[in-house]
Amino acid sequence: MTEKYLYSREYKKEDSVIEVNGVKIGGKKIVVMAGPCSVEKKEIMIEIAKGIKKRGAKVLRGGAFKPRTSPYAFQGLGEKGLKYLAMARDETGLVIVSEMMDTKDVSLVEKYADIIQIGARNMQNFSLLKEAGRSEKPVLLKRGMSATLKEFLMAAEYVMKEGNHNVILCERGIRTFVQYSRNTLDLNIIPALKKETHLPVIVDPSHGTGVRDFVIPMSRAAVAAGADGLIVEVHPRPEEAISDKEQTINFKQFRKLMEEVRRVAEAVGRKA
Amino acid sequence: MTEKYLYSREYKKEDSVIEVNGVKIGGKKIVVMAGPCSVEKKEIMIEIAKGIKKRGAKVLRGGAFKPRTSPYAFQGLGEKGLKYLAMARDETGLVIVSEMMDTKDVSLVEKYADIIQIGARNMQNFSLLKEAGRSEKPVLLKRGMSATLKEFLMAAEYVMKEGNHNVILCERGIRTFVQYSRNTLDLNIIPALKKETHLPVIVDPSHGTGVRDFVIPMSRAAVAAGADGLIVEVHPRPEEAISDKEQTINFKQFRKLMEEVRRVAEAVGRKA
Amino acid sequence: MTEKYLYSREYKKEDSVIEVNGVKIGGKKIVVMAGPCSVEKKEIMIEIAKGIKKRGAKVLRGGAFKPRTSPYAFQGLGEKGLKYLAMARDETGLVIVSEMMDTKDVSLVEKYADIIQIGARNMQNFSLLKEAGRSEKPVLLKRGMSATLKEFLMAAEYVMKEGNHNVILCERGIRTFVQYSRNTLDLNIIPALKKETHLPVIVDPSHGTGVRDFVIPMSRAAVAAGADGLIVEVHPRPEEAISDKEQTINFKQFRKLMEEVRRVAEAVGRKA
Amino acid sequence: MTEKYLYSREYKKEDSVIEVNGVKIGGKKIVVMAGPCSVEKKEIMIEIAKGIKKRGAKVLRGGAFKPRTSPYAFQGLGEKGLKYLAMARDETGLVIVSEMMDTKDVSLVEKYADIIQIGARNMQNFSLLKEAGRSEKPVLLKRGMSATLKEFLMAAEYVMKEGNHNVILCERGIRTFVQYSRNTLDLNIIPALKKETHLPVIVDPSHGTGVRDFVIPMSRAAVAAGADGLIVEVHPRPEEAISDKEQTINFKQFRKLMEEVRRVAEAVGRKA
């Protein structure tokens, strides 16, 4: 039993800044991660990477391994998807984040991605957390759909305890009785986390709301509440996206998001 | 059965602006309402009214009739409390908002207050809604703790159907599994409401979170998400407040709130 | 401030048994209340009263004043409905329970009904609770959709504090993320209440689940968990019922319910 | 895409009965599984196995790999724990169920346990589900804390699609605003599941409520609602148990549970 949890402000007072290929997460600048839900064809990935970079994103997201409710739904392109992400990085210099779902896939995901994502459904997959903790790559840890503050922070502690202190926390909506949003994006956790931990906190308004029209206002709100970054689903033609069509925004909407987020960021003493 | 609900954008496309003694709610300017949970002694009420006015509030809140979980808890000063509010108005010119809990009290609350509040626990007290609908005073309607979007809007419709179209909607937190905030302030409802209704939408970050330290960040977030105003618990010495000590901010914190909200308001094309 | 709440086991150790026209609620025998959601035409009310009595119900339910989400939905027959209930009582000797929604209606509801119901939406309508507390008729208090144990018991305390100790508590489902039932009938509250209070506890599986097929299994479960009674929506032709068609059972299903509940009641040392 | 899900009543109309070492799960007889939260010392495991067998349990539960919120909490005895379970089986003939948390551990857990448990936190650990689907041992699948009906059934489908049709579903409580029980045991899902699937459904009242005093009444209720079995935490001296002290019952309470469940089972046409 440790007296001071590694995630805690008692262990480390000042905010952690995680640097990946020159991109700083947790610093003054708001970091925006964007991209499709699932990794798509190579040409589309290159198109998306260029499109989001041009509009200000620093990190490209895309799932090669997809956690899908149904076993008959598209499960992702696997290694091929990771290769496409790496190609998009080569073309644009963007940082790559992609999800790892199985302890067996660590070395594979590590080989291509710059940040390893642990999804909401695996937030308490303790074997996976430990495996990620032995990686040298930063970990983007998504909050489980009904995770308490303590459970979320302790999941980060599982990673940190193994030696990997580069954990980025991500709020992505909780399960409530509400039905006008697919999940209830819980921005209240931002000040709650900031009080307890030095780790960077980002917000996913796409999964968090599940509604395209809510993505921009809730992105503004997330930054106003103190988030260090955003992860947003973007596709040039959302209606053609393999998954998450309803909540994915297009390039034009993403440009608007970036402009509005930038203004709010400045209003709260940050940049974007 | 009406085809177009009175609250709906189909009935009225443009945003409603409700004017009370020269204060416009729902317009370009963010309106801030502030004051103690319960109406306190006369001198304190005057002190609070002056203090919040100086820092930019336009409306003074304070409960004369208090809905308390326990019948043995302080139930409010009743008419005496309403008189103190009216005195504070005379001194400062602030608009007064106070809660009505019983259909029998309409004429009493109307006599002193400029805006009649219907609390969260009474959001589906249909007799009270109808009574408020027959008043000439605007109604501030708080969302019930587990109200759906439809239930909230239909509660407004009960008021409007009786002839009173001046309804201000107020998000104040919902019940979820979360325990780090007393309620889960649900900012997602702001874009959801703005899509469906022309009525102004304000946010109560004090009851919505129940945690003093969350009031400022969530106020910023509310305005960034598109809220038309805020209602905040303020007391010169929160530790001496009759009720809601844990979530009440002092004058210094309120000044900070106003400054930060003003910057965010400007960032989203509003004023405060 | 009282040291021992009137509802508490500290105030009164043994279970309270509330007697109404010879029917005992809270005793060894499980009491079943049944009838339509809304009071219907006189002939149908008589038909229902005879039908449920024949199958073992002791109390006839039916709403004359209906709390409806929409102001354009049927609001109940009002006094005419209460008269029909009274006529049904004259024909059958059943005890009558009906909802009161407005403090102004106390004397009216008291005049016809034997038990006054306070609905879930009014569980914290404190004026109404106090008014009911001054009545001589027992009060059936429904749990609010997001009420905590303390809030529920304190609502009972509001009634009792005014002098009326005959309060029957009723679990009727809470709001959760679940969608296969309209509400989540929370039977866990039965042992929780039984530990804290001497008041009788009944269960409403009709509103509690909102699904006809769940009414019988959850009625059995409620009695197995320790409930003192049930309140069930029954109509000879549910598809013709004015409201709550989806969850109302017919006479044949009600007979089955009574038979199955009787067996479970005996298994747990009760009768039905 | 398959037209008929393997879990569905369309695929298989009649109830599935899963037989393990002569014990039938899903048949007329209610199956009771019992044992400590975590596997304890060898002597205690033998004592527990004999104690629960004598009182009517057919399956011994015990975690060798423990999913714990904190990485500093006891993580289970691992293979040693599995060996103790196997020894207890040798002594008593009880069937063994134990949790698997990592795809790497399948062969290990399979080697000792008769039924492989997938815990609530791993309900959507799709790699683990697929791995379990390739096992020859039946799978006890616990519902995630915020799982919908569809997500729960689809998790079973992941297992079944790989060839293993022996899946036992287990309700173990969901996350709601309620605090008098640690989770809200949701018995409404029993009739909901029984309508959709032929798979057996059991209930865990220990984790489902988190309160010792609720375990017996909710066990009765579960069986009354139609559950095919129970899984209960039992320890000869709960106050000495390594984990879950608050909800674990002792032998005397377990005997009472069995007697009461037996009576309710008979009342609903089952046996126990």
Q: Give the pLDDT of residue D272.
A: 87
Subunits with 3+ Cβ pairs within 8 Å of C are A, B, D
Q: By CA distance, what is B184's nearest residue in D?
A: D177
Instruction: Give the gap in angstroms from C-alpha C116 to the nearest C-alpha of chain B.
Output: 17
In a domain, A50, yes or no: yes
pLDDT for residue A39 is more than 50 = yes
pLDDT for residue D203 is more than 80 = yes
List, as one string, the DSSP characters of D194-238.
HHHB-S-EEE-HHHHH--HHHHHHHHHHHHHHT-SEEEEEB-SSG
Looking at the partner chain, which of A149, A213, A264 has a beta carbon nearest the beta carbon of B224?
A264
Task: Tell me how many domains chain D contains.
Answer: 1
In a domain, D36, yes or no: yes
Q: Which residues of D touch A70 (CB under 8 A)?
A: 154, 157
pLDDT for residue D1 is more than 60 = no
CA distances D150 to C14, D5, D156, Å, are 44, 11, 10
Q: Which residues of A touch D78 (CB under 8 A)?
A: none
Q: Rounded to an integer, what distance in angstroms lies between the CA atom of residue A46 and that of residue A41? A: 9
Cross-strand pairs, C60 = C34, C96
CA distances C77 to A29, A52, C65, Å, are 63, 61, 7
Looking at the partner chain, which of B149, B188, B211 has a beta carbon nearest the beta carbon of A184?
B188
Q: Rounded to an integer, what distance in angstroms lies between the CA atom of residue A148 and that of residue C252? A: 46
Query: Residue D3: which pLDDT band, with cuts at 50, 70 and 90?
Result: low
Cβ separation of B191 and A185 shorter than 8 Å? Answer: no
Instruction: Give the gap in angstroms from C-alpha B175 to the nearest C-alpha of chain D.
Output: 6
Mean pLDDT calculated for residue range B69-80? 95
Identify the three-state secondary structure at position B122. Answer: helix
Cβ separation of D184 and C192 shorter than 8 Å? Answer: no
Looking at the partner chain, which of A146, A192, A226 has a beta carbon nearest the beta carbon of B180?
A192
Amino acid identity for residue A156 in this structure: A
Q: By CA distance, what is C173's nearest residue in D?
A: D188
In a domain, A9, yes or no: no
Closest to A90 measured CA to CA, from A19, A166, A18, A21: A21
Instruction: Give the gap in angstroms from C-alpha A201 to the nearest C-alpha of chain D.
Output: 20
Instruction: Give the gap in angstroms from C-alpha C45 to the nearest C-alpha of chain D.
Output: 30
Q: Which of A99, A122, A124, A183 is the best substitution to test chain D (most D C-beta atoms within 10 A)? A: A124
Q: Give the pLDDT of residue A197.
A: 98
Mean pLDDT calculated for residue range D174-198? 98
Looking at the partner chain, which of C148, C213, C225 has a beta carbon nearest the beta carbon of D221?
C225
Q: Rounded to an integer, what distance in angstroms lies between the CA atom of residue A124 and that of residue A147? A: 9
Q: Which domain holds residue D114?
A: 29-267
CB atoms within 10 A of CB A103: 18
In a domain, B224, yes or no: yes
- What would the two tokens of residue C161 be? 């504090």
Looking at the partner chain, which of A71, A125, A146 has a beta carbon nearest the beta carbon of D122?
A125
Q: Which residues of B touch A178 (CB under 8 A)?
A: 148-149, 174, 186, 188-189
Q: Give the pLDDT of residue B1.
A: 45
Cβ separation of A263 and B260 shorter than 8 Å? Answer: no
Query: Residue B244: which pLDDT band, with cuts at 50, 70 and 90?
Result: confident
Q: What is the pLDDT of residues B167-202, one digit of tens each?
A: 999 999 999 999 999 999 999 999 999 999 999 999
Q: State which H helix or E strand residue D43 sits in.
A: helix D42-54
Q: Which pTM was predicted?
A: 0.97
ipTM surpasses cut 0.85: yes
pLDDT for residue D89 is more than 80 = yes
Q: What is the pLDDT of residues D236-259, one digit of tens each?
A: 999 999 888 899 999 999 999 999
Cβ separation of C225 and D213 shorter than 8 Å? Answer: no
In a domain, B88, yes or no: yes
Mean pLDDT calculated for residue range D134-163? 98
CB atoms within 10 A of CB B71: 22
Spell out, as residue ranges, where chain C has pLDDT lower than 70.
Answer: 1-3
Mean pLDDT calculated for residue range B25-53? 97
Contacts A–D by Cβ distance under 8 A? 75
CB burial readout A113-152, b (16+ within 10 A) else e:
bbbbbbbbbbbbbbbbbbbbbebebbbbbbbbbbbbbebb
Q: Give the pLDDT of residue B3.
A: 67
Cβ separation of B195 and A217 shorter than 8 Å? Answer: no
pLDDT for residue B160 is more than 50 = yes
Q: Which residues of D touch C146 (CB under 8 A)?
A: 177
Q: Which residues of D touch C148 (CB under 8 A)?
A: 177-180
Mean pLDDT calculated for residue range A112-132? 97
Cross-strand pairs, D159 = none
Share of chain A above pLDDT 90, in %: 96
**Can you give the three-state secondary structure of chain A, one letter per residue?**
CCCCCCCECCCCCCCCCEEECCEEECCCECEEEEECCECCCHHHHHHHHHHHHHCCCCEEECECCCCCCCCCCCCCCCHHHHHHHHHHHHHHCCEEEEECCCHHHHHHHHHHCCEEEECHHHCCCHHHHHHHHCCCCCEEEECCCCCCHHHHHHHHHHHHHCCCCCEEEEECCECCCCCCCCCECCCCHHHHHHHHECCCEEECHHHHHCCHHHHHHHHHHHHHHCCCEEEEEECCCHHHCCCCHHHCECHHHHHHHHHHHHHHHHHCCCEC
Q: By CA distance, what is B175's nearest residue in D?
A: D177
Query: Residue D125: which pLDDT band, with cuts at 50, 70 and 90?
Result: very high
In a domain, C149, yes or no: yes
pLDDT for residue B223 is more than 60 = yes
Q: Rounded to an integer, what distance in angstroms lies between the CA atom of residue C203 and that of residue C193? A: 12
Instruction: Give the gap in angstroms from C-alpha A47 to the nearest C-alpha of chain B.
Output: 30
Q: What is the pLDDT of residues D61-82, one digit of tens each?
A: 999 999 999 999 999 999 999 9
Cβ separation of B188 and A178 shorter than 8 Å? Answer: yes
Looking at the partner chain, which of B68, B124, B130 has a beta carbon nearest the beta carbon of C121?
B124
Q: Rounded to an integer, what distance in angstroms lies between the CA atom of residue C262 and that of residue C57? A: 12
Q: Give the pLDDT of residue D244.
A: 87
In a domain, C12, yes or no: no
CATH number at residue D140: 3.20.20.70
Cβ separation of C221 and D224 shorter than 8 Å? Answer: yes
Looking at the partner chain, which of B149, B211, B264 has a beta carbon nearest the beta carbon of A268?
B264
In a domain, D7, yes or no: no
Q: Rounded to an integer, what distance in angstroms lies between the CA atom of residue D199 and that of residue D211? A: 28
Q: What is the pLDDT of residues A221-259, one digit of tens each?
A: 999 999 999 999 999 999 999 888 899 999 999 999 999
